[in-house]
Each structure stands twice: as C-alpha cells, then as structure tokens.
Homo-oligomer: A and B are copies of this chain.
Amino acid sequence: MKPEKILNISVDCVVFGYDVTTKSLNVLLIKRYLETDNDILVDDYVLTGYHVYTHETLDDTATRVLKELTGLTNQYKKQFKAFGSPNRLTSEKDLLWIKNEEFNSRTITVAYYFLLKTEDVDLDNTNNNAKWFPITDLPDLGFDHEKIIKEAYKDLKEKCLSEPIIFKLLPDKFTINDVQDLYESILGIEIDNRNFRRKLISKKYIIALDEKQVGVSKKPAQLYMFSKDIYDKMFQKNYLISM
C-alpha cells in the first residue's frame, strides 16, 4: 500500500490586513509575470508560499513565508485547510509558471492565514511585487488561489464571531466605530451603531483609554484598547447551544 508517487508539500499564506482609513479588508498578493518576445504568457497575482523543509514544522514554514514577504514576525496566524486535489495546477499558465520556477510537483499545500494591520507592512521594503487588494475586489489569480482565499475568508468570518481575533486587525488604540466598521467589512452586513456600541462597551476586556482621536474634523471619538489578559481570565467561553 505505497503511494504511486512521492508528493510535494508547500505552505501558502493568505495575508489579511485591515486599512482603518479606507475601511477595507485587504489581501496581500504578489505579481506573477512571464512573457516571450511578443506574448504575455502569465500576468496575474498569487499568494506567497514556500516548500516545507523537513526540519521545520508547518507553522515554522508559515512564519518563514510571512517574514520573507513582509518582514514581520509574531503575527496572528491560523492553519485553516490543506488543499490537495490532483488537478489543482493544470491550467496552461500555471504549468508554464511551474516550469519557469523549476518546481516539478507542487500538488499539496497547507494553507494559513495571517491577520495584521496594513500599516505595519512597508510595501516598498519588500522585494516581491506585493500589493494589497480589497477582499471584495480581487484581481485575476493563479493556481487555485482564489479558492484558497475564499476558504480563508469563510473561516475568518466564522472565527471572528466566536473569538476576539478582530483586534489583531486593528491598531492598539481604536474607536468603537472602528470595530463596527471592521465587523461590517468582514461580515458584509450592517450593524446598528447604538446597539453595537452598548454591547461592545459592556465587555470588561474593552478598556476606555484617557485619550481621544486627534486630527479629525468632527467630534473626536473616545479611544479604547482590547485587554487580552482580562479576556483570557474570563475565558469561560459562551457554551450556549446556538444552532
């Protein structure tokens, strides 16, 4: 009962970043481009990913990918799914590209997503042609990366309803409306501001700071922070059966 052929494993990373000013949930993608004398053969975007070294854990590989892409470490990451359909990479474009990169069988990938602030990434300092795209307006994507992004997004949607991971996407100091805007961006829904406000402020782990927004042209909003310590202490998760 041996496999017919040895398989190759890589880790692909969906990097989510939230831009507070434009209120846009973005994905970081890198440009793929290949041309002959008179033809553009490949011109689209892909996720970053590397092959897994045998001496490292899958988490290590993901961390390495993010480091090389953004220079960042210690960002929230989650392994959300492995993709391994045998015909993942059969489009002409992808085969061309794989030859070009001298890979020979990039079949199975373990996918992670990262949550960070767009402002923490200095795109000019990355060697890759990396660029942010709103999750609602993705470009042409290579391989099966559109599918991978969709699945990551789906997982993020679910996860942000049961855990306070949303704060990983926000600056340390934020307004109530920032949080609401982010929820609305992720879930694609509208939320009543008055009710949302009341509910969020009532949480013990949402701490009002002695600070307000500066440089805004209207009434400046109160700034808050998220206390992971307090959240962890009251960690008796809401085990209500809601179906």
Interface residue ranges, A against B (CB under 8 Å): 1-9, 50-58, 79, 81-86, 102, 107-108, 110, 158, 161-164, 183, 187, 189, 191, 196, 199, 203, 238-243
Contact = CB atoms under 8 A, between A and B. Distances in A.
A241 B8 contact: no
Contacts of A53: 3-4
B242 A162 contact: yes
A81 to B, nearest CB: 7
A240 B110 contact: no
A54 B243 contact: no
Contact of A57 (B52, B85, B187, B243): B85
Given A57-B85, A86-B55, A183 B241 contact: yes
Nearest to A243: B164
Nearest to A189: B239
Contact of A58 (B4, B55, B58, B84): B84
Contacts of A162: 158, 162, 242-243
Nearest to A88: B57
B51 A2 contact: yes
A191 B241 CA distance: 10
